[in-house]
Structure 1
Amino acid sequence: MGTSAEQLAAVAAATAGGVPVIYLPDDAALRAVVEVAGPVAMIAHRVVEVGKLRLDADLREATWHGDVLALSSRDFDLLYALAGDPGRVWAFNELTTHVWGRPYVGDTQAVVSAVKRLRRSLRDVAPGVQVESVRGVGYRVTVAEVPVPSH
């Protein structure tokens, strides 16, 4: 049994169009595609862009107005998480799990220290990128358009 138009519409709606979907009605069609095009490697290039801030997770590169930012690995991971959903408040437990990859046991100090270092790294080189505290909850990133002085 094939996939109905309603099912395809539901997939598109559920992913908000953010996930590419290839629909092939049966195995014969899939074999034909592979025979014509050869094996296909689906590689998702993970890039987050918020205003003039661009983070490329595959290259581990952050840029502000096209200029590369010198961020530590932890700074990059933290900023990538926060910028991936700009304006969203990330709770301490979410950041601990997502950025550090470990369970949250109630200690906020690692997150607080990392945010201080990230803010220090961004202060002079990306003035429009702000990591805001939400008291008792966590942090969010906002990006403002700040004119960049000419070099």
Structure 2
Amino acid sequence: MLCVGTSAEQLAAVAEATAGGVAVVYLPDDAALRAVIEGVGSVAVSAHRVIEVGKLRLDADLREATWHGEVMTLSSRDFDLLYALAGDPGRVWAFSELTTHVWGRPYVGDTQAVVSAVKRLRRSLRCAAPGVQVESVRSVGYRVTVAEVPIPSH
């Protein structure tokens, strides 16, 4: 069985309902979903996946993160986690949603992988992007906020 979803909520719901037993195709928006439905057989979705929040820019296709135009060195997991959180800044992402969306596996109640990854991401952001904060929402999950922090002149 193949399921197609356009949101992390849909992805998490399918993964939870099927205990991870189906393939899920994640499409970035409804336009991409329409392209798939209307172009059955040959699908070419060319949306360039870039998120910009203030001076934070994440390019999923290039796997590049920049803060005030400066490239940030992030691990693959850090990038994926930040990309998910920054995709909807201010929104609280539940542990289950992050597990499904970032790790691509069903959530079984263990929050440790998410907690550890957030700690590593926060360490990476402290120096590279001081205006980007990953905030905890107790017993729920995390959200990202981006403040305009002036960069020091060299």
TM-score tier after normalising by the smaller chain length: 0.7 to 0.9
| 57, 60, 64: which one aligns with 1:61 | 64
Q: CA deviation at 1:19?
A: 3.8
Residue in 2 aligned with 1:76? 79
Residue in 1 aligned with 2:121? 118
Aligned residues: 117
3-state SS of the aligned residue for 1:124?
Answer: helix
Kindly report which structure 2 residues correspond to 1:135-150, keeping only aligned pairs within 5 A, or say none: 135-150=138-153
RMSD: 2.0
Q: Which amino acid aligns with 1:69?
A: M
Kindly report which structure 2 residues correspond to 1:15-30, keeping only aligned pairs within 5 A, or say none: 19=31
| 88, 100, 120: which one aligns with 1:97 | 100
CA distance in 2, matches of 1:107, 1:46: 30
Q: Which amino acid aligns with 1:128?
A: G
Q: Which amino acid aligns with 1:118?
A: L
| 98, 109, 112: which one aligns with 1:109 | 112
Kindly report which structure 2 residues correspond to 1:31-42, keeping only aligned pairs within 5 A, or say none: 42=45
CA distance in 1, matches of 2:143, 2:86: 8
CA distance in 1, matches of 2:119, 2:153: 28
Q: CA deviation at 1:77?
A: 0.1
TM-score w.r.t. length of structure 2: 0.72
Sort the Cα spacing of 1:19 and 1:150 in 2 relative to 1 into closer, same or farther, 3 A: farther
| 48, 51, 73: which one aligns with 1:48 | 51
Q: Which amino acid aligns with 1:133?
A: S
Q: Highest CA radius of gyration, 1 or 2?
A: 1
CA distance in 1, matches of 2:147, 2:108: 34
Matched residues, percent identical? 86
3-state SS of the aligned residue for 1:63?
Answer: strand
Structure with the higher fraction of residues in strand conformation: 2
Moved over 2 A (4+): 17-20
Q: Which has the higher contact order (CA 8 A, sep 6+)?
A: 2
Q: CA deviation at 1:74?
A: 0.0
Instruction: Show CA shifts across 1:10-48 (max 9, x none).
Output: xxxxxxx9848x9xxxxxxxxxxxxxxxxxx54110000
CA distance in 2, matches of 1:72, 1:123: 14
TM-score w.r.t. length of structure 1: 0.73
